[in-house]
Amino acid sequence: MEKTADCPSLRNHQIKTYQLMTPSVLPDSKLELHHTKASNDPKDIGNNMIHVEQVIDLLAESYKSSEIYMEVQNEIATICGQEGDLIQKKGSLRPSSISHCLVLTERSFINMYRDVGYYWLRLGIYIALGFAIGTIFYNVGSGFGSINARLSMIMFACSFLTILAIGGFPSLIEEVKVFQWERLNGHYGVGSYVISQTLSSAPYLLLISLVPGVIAYFLAGFQREYERFIYFSLILFASMLIVECLMMIVATIVPNFLMGIIAGAGIQGLMILSAGFFQLPNDLPDIFWRYPMYYISFHKYALQGLYKNEFEGLEFPEYLGGPPTINGKMSTWEVLLPSMGTLQIEMGYSKWVNLGILFGMVFIYRVLLFCTIKTTERVKPIITAFLLSSTHRN
- Mean pLDDT check: name the lowest of 79-88, 135-144, 272-281: 79-88
Checking if the pLDDT of 172 tops 70, the result is yes
CB atoms within 10 A of CB 228: 18
pTM surpassing 0.85? no
**Identity of residue 309:** N
Checking if the pLDDT of 253 tops 80, the result is yes
Average pLDDT over residues 77-94: 72
Measured CA to CA, the distance from residue 231 to residue 226 in angstroms comes to 8
Inter-residue contact 273 to 285 (CB < 8 Å): no
pLDDT, tens digit (0-9, with 9 covering 90-100), for 311-364: 887 776 655 444 555 444 545 555 555 434 567 778 788 899 999 999 999 999
8-state DSSP, 118:
I
- DSSP sequence for 213-282: HHHHHHHHT----HHHHHHHHHHHHHHHHHHHHHHHHHHHH---HHHHHHHHHHHHHHHHHTSSSSS-GG
Of the ranges 153-167, 251-265, 349-363, which is most confident? 349-363
Inter-residue contact 72 to 78 (CB < 8 Å): no
Measured CA to CA, the distance from residue 219 to residue 139 in angstroms comes to 6
Alpha-carbon distance values, 291 to 35, 116, 296 (Å): 77, 40, 9
Q: What is the model's pLDDT at position 89?
A: 63
Average pLDDT over residues 271-278: 90
pLDDT, tens digit (0-9, with 9 covering 90-100), for 189-233: 899 999 999 999 999 999 999 999 999 999 988 888 889 999 999
